[in-house]
């Protein structure tokens, strides 16, 4: 098959430029992608061609230039598409991770074997990392990432990727009975987190209260429609009025000020759902924290056993930065294989014989000062590998406050109170579809309230600009 078309590439200066693309190949033999007459990307077997119907504009798209992935690229990952060839007449939503498992590769890597295929360093990501995305008329989707759309209307289907991602936040940080939780920034992703909380509560018969925190009239109405029990209007009350009020704060603002607010108003946990590629509260690489679905926890013996609820594993290997207290190091040596040193030593250990044949990551890392949090997440600018395993934890030793300058007082106070930061990225489409089928009123709310603007494909720049405006909620680009 040969698909030749023009599409708008996104550039590092936050602009778009027309480019000519050609996809040559087939599912069994692989594909060559040519851009402006030059080879762009070579793909092996396991991809099917799809024709884009529509694609939503995400906060990640708006901040794409800050992410550590090459540009130019056709961006867009909230895709509704239709099949070509033998899949003609079928409609699909597309999971964004291009992994061994998604392609049906019979030779999976250690990340697939560990049950976290979406965290393989070899993965590509639709519309984010190399694989051309949904703001073009055609995409190449890993065969198992293309989910046949049945039982959900096309209006709601274009929201499937962000709804599944929103639901993942609830799965990773589920409210406890009697909790009072808050969604900070209930616009694009925040509205979907509200819908996910509301549908999760109903399906599971849970008992918790949901507050949406905003300062915009249009978002107050939207938040109520999407499932919020009450509204906290920041034009009427201050952050001080909300301090330590909410058991979990789901931060969807993607702003440094929003993150700092979340740290102050949470009683137990902040769940960081999206970031902007820039430092927040003085901490570097929080975008990559979300990409790797890592957690940052205060050091305690209980937290050394941290893992995601569905994972069946135990922590064995720990890396400790040199400034961590001797008491903590001695305690750890009683239960774990402890490695110690600076960030270069940590990388050398992961590349040594000790980690041959197993995942080249530590199960958790203990840091002694805030700068080491960023180093644990991304120890080198030469690659995208963390010191700690995906869905693992960075534990913070706060016993030596001399290591913490006044710039980090908010973060230090947060961890000294025993509070935690968690994160999540993509979600399970099958689970999201099932939840929407169980809650038709939520599906109706998505269809009725969330898509605020639609643009034809030849007005991509206008759609992108509109998505940046506070008056917009979800902007969708239509190709058909």
pLDDT by residue for the chain (480 residues), tens only, comes to 999 999 999 999 999 999 999 999 999 999 999 999 999 999 999 999 999 999 999 988 998 998 889 999 999 999 999 999 999 989 999 999 999 999 999 888 899 888 899 999 889 999 999 999 999 999 999 999 999 887 778 888 899 999 999 999 999 999 999 999 999 998 888 999 999 999 999 989 999 999 999 998 889 999 999 999 999 999 999 999 999 999 999 999 989 999 999 999 999 999 999 877 788 999 999 999 999 999 999 999 999 999 998 888 899 999 999 999 999 999 999 999 999 999 999 999 999 998 988 899 999 999 999 999 999 999 999 888 999 999 999 999 999 888 898 889 999 999 999 999 999 998 989 889 888 888 888 888 888 888 999 999 999 999 999 999 988 889 999 998
Can you give the pLDDT at residue 270? 98
Bin 271: left if φ > 0, else alpha if -120 < ψ < 50, else beta.
beta
Cβ(77)–Cβ(87) under 8 Å?
A: no
- Which position has the token pair 């529509």? 54
Please confirm whether the linkage preceding 261 is cis (ω < 30° from 0): no
Can you give the pLDDT at residue 332? 98
Query: Of the candidates 285, 245, 246, 253, which has an alpha carbon nearest to the alpha carbon of residue 379?
Result: 285
- Which position has the token pair 């399970």? 428
Count of residues making up the chain: 480
Here the tokens at position 137 are 């008329």
Can you give the pLDDT at residue 96? 95
Can you give the pLDDT at residue 337? 97
């Amino acid at each position: 098959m040969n698909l030749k078309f023009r599409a708008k590439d996104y550039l590092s200066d936050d602009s778009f430029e027309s480019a000519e693309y050609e996809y040559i190949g087939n599912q069994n033999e692989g594909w060559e992608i040519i851009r402006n007459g030059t080879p762009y990307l070579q793909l092996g077997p396991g991809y099917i061609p799809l024709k884009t119907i529509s694609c939503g504009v995400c906060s990640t798209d708006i901040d794409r230039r800050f992410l550590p992935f090459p540009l130019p690229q056709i961006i867009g990952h909230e895709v509704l598409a239709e099949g070509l060839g033998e899949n003609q007449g079928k409609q699909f939503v597309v999971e964004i991770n291009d992994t061994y498992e998604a392609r049906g590769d019979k030779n999976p890597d250690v990340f697939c074997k560990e049950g976290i295929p979406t965290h393989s360093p070899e993965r590509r990501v639709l519309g984010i990392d190399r694989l051309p995305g949904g703001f073009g008329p055609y995409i190449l989707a890993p065969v198992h990432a293309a989910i046949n759309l049945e039982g959900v209307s096309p209006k709601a289907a274009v929201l499937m990727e962000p709804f599944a991602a929103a639901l993942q936040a609830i799965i990773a940080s589920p409210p406890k009975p009697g909790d009072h939780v808050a969604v900070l920034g209930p616009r694009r992703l925040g509205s979907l987190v509200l819908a996910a909380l509301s549908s999760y509560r109903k399906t599971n018969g849970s008992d918790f209260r949901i507050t949406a925190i905003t300062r915009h009239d249009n978002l107050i109405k939207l938040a109520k429609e999407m499932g919020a029990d009450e509204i906290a209007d920041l034009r009427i009350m201050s952050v001080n009025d909300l301090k330590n009020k909410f058991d979990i704060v789901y931060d969807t603002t993607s702003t440094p000020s929003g993150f700092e607010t979340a740290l102050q108003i949470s009683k137990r946990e902040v769940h960081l759902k999206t970031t902007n590629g820039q430092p927040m509260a003085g901490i570097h690489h929080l975008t990559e924290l979300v990409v790797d679905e890592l957690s940052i926890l205060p050091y305690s013996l209980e937290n050394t056993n941290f893992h995601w609820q569905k994972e069946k594993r135990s922590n064995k290997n720990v890396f400790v930065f040199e400034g961590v207290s001797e008491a903590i190091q001695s305690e750890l040596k009683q239960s774990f294989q402890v490695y110690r040193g600076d960030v270069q030593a940590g990388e050398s250990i992961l590349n040594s014989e000790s980690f041959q044949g197993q995942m080249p990551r530590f199960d958790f890392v203990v840091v002694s000062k805030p700068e080491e949090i960023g180093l644990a997440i991304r120890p080198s600018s030469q690659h995208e590998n963390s010191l700690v395993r995906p869905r693992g934890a960075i534990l913070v030793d706060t016993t030596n406050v001399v290591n913490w300058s006044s710039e980090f007082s908010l973060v230090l106070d947060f961890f000294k109170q025993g509070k935690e930061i968690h994160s999540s990225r993509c979600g399970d489409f099958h689970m999201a579809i099932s939840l929407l089928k169980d809650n038709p009123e939520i599906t109706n709310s998505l269809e009725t309230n969330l898509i605020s603007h639609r643009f034809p494909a030849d007005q991509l720049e206008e759609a992108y600009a509109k998505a940046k405006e506070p008056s917009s909620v979800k902007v969708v680009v239509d190709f058909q």
